[in-house]
Amino acid sequence: MKKILAYILLVLAASGCIYPFDAGIVPESGIRPVTVSGDILIGSVTEIGLGFVYPVGTPEGEMRRKTPSGSVTVINDRGDSYKGVKSGAGLYRIDTSAAPEDALYRLEIRLDDGREFRTPWTGVQEAPAIENLKFEVSDGTVRMLADLGGRDSLQFFRIDFEETWEYHADFVPDLMYLPGLPSADRENPQKIYRPRQADEDYYYCWNTASSAEPFTASSEELSENRLVSACFHSLPNTDTKFSVLYSVLVSARGMSERAYRYHYQVRSNSNATGDLFSPTPSELPGNIECVGNPSETVVGYVDAVCLAQARLYVPSNVYRETRNPESELYYPFPDEDGMYNFESLFARDAPVFCDDEIPTKTNVSWAPKRCTDCRLSGGSKNKPEWWPNDHR
């Protein structure tokens, strides 16, 4: 009976599945629609990204590399103009930190090919108050929560965040390998190792990342125009980001209803399809038009907003260690000819400990370099100035 039941369950579990699918769409040639990303950040530095719509499957690098070139300017109804400075491929930084909040703004884009785009005049969305930031751990997940207090008229919220975390390597090496020795010395344990110097400390590192997907929410159906315990980010508590200290900088902004609908639809189209009852994807027009050719498609929605920021720290006691770095250690062993090829070993590994005072061929533990150099995990030794501890 158990076998029958297991079989039935297997059939049921396996019957409904999701499979990779390629529609085999041939990319169309012709003018690619221009995309515009970013908001006009009043009281801060505005970052505007320009790009093209590419055929599905285009590598990210190519999309970031092949971008429109031109000029980007923020103007307001008082005649102030804030010109953008190119900071990368398709990226423009505009200093709008001194721009007044009580003006109307628009973004103007002039491409090198002569096309011009602009947004309509728009008022500045006031920033919500970040009333509280907190985290909670449940079911192995660290959930980061925000309470946003809206103004009376503010019903649509967006949260972006930048997370920064300190972490460390698994081991601090006692010895360093000396590469490039004459072949006669390459197997001499007394020559190939040297003590680690004080400036060769790659144990503590810092890393940072920005939210790829902003969190948006609405208080339309709520009794107050505020969000309570809105979970804007979550990570498993086994994530090494929590191993030493984790911090997240929350940037909250208000949104116009149209902007909220637009971004909601765009995000749903990208991430929330495929369920049995998923709505059919549809496109919403943005608020950017091509001057002189209104029928030209331009993708994007640019609002003028103010930001509110606050930081949350998550201590390491939420972290649940699941790795066992000791298992990564090993002792070198000779090849078939009895030779210890430390040179090739060093290409991927690093010496760690010496069990005795004098190293020999076999008493030095080696480990993968990523276990001894925290930089290889994506971070750097650049400690943020505001970081609260004294690790170096």
Partner 1 sequence: MKRLVVLLLLLAPGLLPCMAQTPLFRGRAANEYNFPYNGNFFWSSPEFRPGTVRFDGVTYNGVMLNINAHTGDLMVRESEFSTPVVPERSQVAWFEIDGLLYVNLRDAGIEDAPEGFFAVLQDGRSTYYWQRTKLFVREPGNHNGVRGIGYDDPRYRENIIAYFHCRDQYYCFRRGVFKKVGKHSVRRAGKTVSAPFLPSGASFSSDKGCERIVGTASPSLRNLPGQQELPAGFFSDESLSSARSAALAAIEQENLIASYRNKIYEIGVPGRSEGPFKVEGVVRNVAGGAPLATVFVSPEGGGGYDYTDADGHYSITLRKGENTLIFNEYSMEEMRIRVVVRGDGGLDVVMREKVTALKSAYVSAEGMAEHRRTAMGVEKINSGLAGHIPSAFGEADILKAVLTLPGVKTVGEASGGFNVRGGASDQNLILFNEGTIYNPSHLFGIFSAFNNDVVDGAELYKSSIPAQYGGRISSVLDINTREGDMKRIRGALGIGLLTGHLSLEGPIVKDRTSFLLGGRTSYSDWMLRRLPASSGYSGGSASFSDVNLSVTHRFDDVNSLQAGGYWSRDGFSFRGDTTFRYSNLDFSLIWKHRAPEGRSWKVSAGFDRYSNSLAAGASASSRDGYNLSTVIRQGFAKASFSESLGAHNLSYGADAVFYALSPGILSPTGESLVVPRSLALETALEPSLYVSDSWTPGGGPLSLDMGVRLSSFLSFAPSKFYATPEFRLSAKYSPSGRLSFKAGLNTMSQYIHLISNTSSISPMDTWRLSGESIKPQRGWQAAAGVYWTVFGGSLDISLEGYWKRMYNILDYKSGAVLSMNEHLADDLVRADGRAYGVELMLRKQTGRLTGWIAYTWSRSLLREEEGRGAAAINGGAWYNAPHDKPHDIKLVANYKFTHRYSISCNLDYSTGRPVTIPVGQYMYGDALRLVYSERNAYRIPDYFRLDLALNIEPGHYFKALAHMSATIGCYNVTGRKNAYSVYYTTNGGTQLKGYMVSVFATPIPYATLNLKF
Binding region for partner 1 (CB under 8 A): 5, 8-9, 11-23, 25, 28, 32-33, 35, 37-38, 49, 51-58, 60, 63-64, 210-214, 221-224, 228-229, 261-262, 264-267, 269-271, 273-274, 276-285, 295, 299-300
**Residue among 23 and 98 whose Cβ is closer to partner 1:** 23
Least separation in angstroms between CB 2 and partner 1: 11
Residues near 217 by beta carbon (within 8 Å), at least 6 away in sequence: 156, 157, 159, 227, 230
**Residue among 273 and 380 whose Cβ is closer to partner 1:** 273
Least separation in angstroms between CB 100 and partner 1: 26
DSSP state of 340: -
What backbone phi and psi angles, to 5 degrees, belong to 347? -60, -30
**Residue among 40 and 175 whose Cβ is closer to partner 1:** 40
**Residue among 23 and 198 whose Cβ is closer to partner 1:** 23
Least separation in angstroms between CB 206 and partner 1: 19
Residue type, 109: I
Least separation in angstroms between CB 52 and partner 1: 7
Residue type, 285: P
Burial track 244-278 (b if 16+ CB lie within 10 A, e otherwise): bbbbbbbbbbbbbebbbbbbbebeeeeeeeeeeee
Got the DSSP string for 224-250?
SSEEEEEEEEEEETT-GGGSSEEEEEE
Residue 224 exposure: Cα atoms within 13 Å on the Cβ side: 9
**Residue among 183 and 295 whose Cβ is closer to partner 1:** 295
**Residue among 168 and 261 whose Cβ is closer to partner 1:** 261
Least separation in angstroms between CB 385 and partner 1: 24
**Residue among 130 and 371 whose Cβ is closer to partner 1:** 130
Least separation in angstroms between CB 353 and partner 1: 38
**Residue among 283 and 355 whose Cβ is closer to partner 1:** 283
Among residues 59, 103, 67, 117, the alpha carbon closest in space to that of 87 is found at 67
Least separation in angstroms between CB 386 and partner 1: 23
How many whole angstroms separate alpha carbon 374 and alpha carbon 358?
27
Among residues 195, 173, 174, 177, the alpha carbon closest in space to that of 186 is found at 177
How many whole angstroms separate alpha carbon 147 and alpha carbon 129?
8
Least separation in angstroms between CB 348 and partner 1: 27
Residue 56 exposure: Cα atoms within 13 Å on the Cβ side: 7
